[in-house]
Amino acid sequence: MSALSPFVLLFAPWALAGAAALLVRRSPRWVGWSGVAAAALAVAASLQLAAGLLAGRPAAAAMGDTFGADALSAILCVCISLVSLLAAAFGPGLAGPETDAGATRRFRVGLSAFAPTMLLAVTTQNVAIMWVAIEATTIASALVIPLARTKASVEASWKYMLICSVGIALAFTGTVLAYFDFISTAGARQGALTFAVLQQAAPVLHRELMQLAFAFILVGYGTKAGLAPMHTWLPDAYSEAPPPIAAMMSGVLVAVAMYAIARWKAVVDVAATPAFTNALLLGAGLLSVAIGAFSLVVQRHYKRMLAYSSVEHMGLVSLGLALGPAGTFAALLHLVNHAFAKSMAFLAAGRVSRRYATTEIAGVSGLLGAMPWSGGLFAAAVLALIGLPPFGLFVSEFLLVRAAVVSGHFWIAAAVAVFILTTFVSLLRHLNAMLYGPVPEGVETGEPRSWGLVALAGCLAVLLALGLVLPWPVSALLDRSVAVLTP
């Protein structure tokens, strides 16, 4: 029971918040605050998990092989619960546009299902339970995309649900293939589906089969992560989802999918040589970075612009995972940075689109005049996303390019530099168009300071801290995660 306690604190509050959202029909404010409280408790639990790991008290596996956390799980737990806290605070009922009671309730129920499924995906040691959890994230998030039932949002959620379900089914095929290999060559054993046992048995596993399994797994979880060419659902879903959900999907859901890929890569690399997984990840990464960068040039909608930027960043993470320990460190740091920068950008964009009532870049001008605080924070988030110092993404992108050069992949370093430059120029151009110029007629100017702005400024502080000092708890946890992933 004692081993279970951090996990109880991680999941139980969400169950209570979900029950409250389902049962309490009146006072959406109280339901909203219960969601915030649940998220805050989950933040506390994941910080406790991380602190315990740093102090040398690893969270032991609980309930057989179902729960268990190492440094990598702890980092992702912290990111997921912090972003969920932001999403809970910015959701309808507390902030955001006035929606009808039904939509508000659907949002709260969806959020209370979405956050714990992601937490489960990163705290389970069992590859099949991880799959079940990631599939459940699709279901939970798809339900909340069409909050306002417009044609575009219904279309986006259908596309999301179908493409991601099929993709994730392929990931399960890969999981079954790996299990098949395990059963056939290493013999049936208890706990055959946990990472530790798989990794231990990996030297005797059949090379070709594990490679085939990884191909399925990469396509499957890559669909969820938005890696090209499986990214087609992503711009629609992100731009149509309510901003808090878009923040969770783009900030941490993609990170969860990349986490699954990284875990599997660690197993397959022992069974076969890393050359195969590296080649696949480099291919998918370069294609995603290229498609992301060029789609940004022609973007006319700022929410879709943020979505394509996710494709680009996940491409960078995929490249990093293929570049040895230094690259893996850069990739994981990039995931953390991206989680905060992207959620901040989507939440600020939500405020902008509410004021201007449009998502077109051409429809927004004079943002700094109309909304000095939100506009400024939005600009800061976009500047962080293009990798400008002193924000954290500059550090991780720099480390990534350095890892490519050091490991002898000069042409990859060169290509990445060119694509990063392309995104830099096009995002800056779009941002300029939005920030300056006259405020369109009918858009009111000025905004009061509110706690919402404080929350966004908190994200900014995290990004600055990660960029300027890289606090030792973070770097220590990242170092340990790299050790887990690249034995």
Partner 1 sequence: MNGLFSQLVVLGSSAMLLTALIVLWRRGVPAYITAYRWQSWLLGAVTAIVGAFSGDRELYLVAGALVLLKGMAIPRLLRTMERRFGAQRELRPYVNTETSLLISGLLVVFAYALARPWMAVSRLPTRAGLPIAMALLFVSLFIIVSRKKAVTQIIGFLMLENAIALLAVVGTYGVPLLVEFGVFLDALMGFLVMQIFVYQIHETFDTIDVEQLARLKH
Under the rule (CB under 8 A), what is the footprint of partner 1? Answer: 126, 128-129, 132, 135-136, 138-139, 142-143, 146, 149-152, 154-159, 161-162, 165-166, 169, 172-173, 176-177, 179-181, 183-185, 193, 206, 208-209, 212, 235-236, 239-240, 295, 298-301, 304
Name the residue nearer to partner 1 (CB basis): 107 or 373.
107
Name the residue nearer to partner 1 (CB basis): 48 or 185.
185
Q: How many CB atoms lie within 10 A of CB 52?
A: 15
d(CA 264, CA 123): 15
* Least gap, CB of 363 to partner 1 (angstroms): 15
The single-letter DSSP state of residue 249 is I
Q: How many CB atoms lie within 10 A of CB 279?
A: 11
* Least gap, CB of 78 to partner 1 (angstroms): 25
Name the residue nearer to partner 1 (CB basis): 139 or 484.
139
The single-letter DSSP state of residue 283 is H
Name the residue nearer to partner 1 (CB basis): 89 or 209.
209
d(CA 220, CA 223): 5
* Least gap, CB of 421 to partner 1 (angstroms): 22
Name the residue nearer to partner 1 (CB basis): 180 or 436.
180
C-beta separation of 130 from 43 below 8 A = no
What 3-state class would DSSP assign to 450?
coil
Measure CA 330 to chain center.
Answer: 16
Name the residue nearer to partner 1 (CB basis): 172 or 373.
172
What 3-state class would DSSP assign to 183?
helix
* Least gap, CB of 11 to partner 1 (angstroms): 15
Which residues are 124's β-sheet partners? Answer: 67
C-beta separation of 251 from 83 below 8 A = yes
Positive or negative: CA dihedral 457, 240, 172, 314: negative
Q: How many CB atoms lie within 10 A of CB 215?
A: 17
Name the residue nearer to partner 1 (CB basis): 178 or 252.
178
* Least gap, CB of 139 to partner 1 (angstroms): 5
* Least gap, CB of 382 to partner 1 (angstroms): 19
* Least gap, CB of 192 to partner 1 (angstroms): 8
* Least gap, CB of 228 to partner 1 (angstroms): 15
Q: Which of 311, 320, 456 is nearest to 376 (CA)?
A: 456
What 3-state class would DSSP assign to 293?
helix
* Least gap, CB of 394 to partner 1 (angstroms): 29
Name the residue nearer to partner 1 (CB basis): 131 or 419.
131
Which amino acid makes up residue 312?
E
Tokens encoding 238: 């992100």
Which amino acid makes up residue 27?
S
* Least gap, CB of 328 to partner 1 (angstroms): 28
Name the residue nearer to partner 1 (CB basis): 117 or 328.
117
The single-letter DSSP state of residue 360 is B
Q: Which residues contact 465 (CB under 8 A, 6 or more apart)?
A: 392, 471
* Least gap, CB of 258 to partner 1 (angstroms): 21
Positive or negative: CA dihedral 316, 317, 319, 320: positive
Name the residue nearer to partner 1 (CB basis): 253 or 393.
253
Name the residue nearer to partner 1 (CB basis): 191 or 471.
191
C-beta separation of 14 from 112 below 8 A = yes
Task: Specify the residue for token string 């300029």.
Answer: 432
Positive or negative: CA dihedral 329, 331, 336, 338: positive
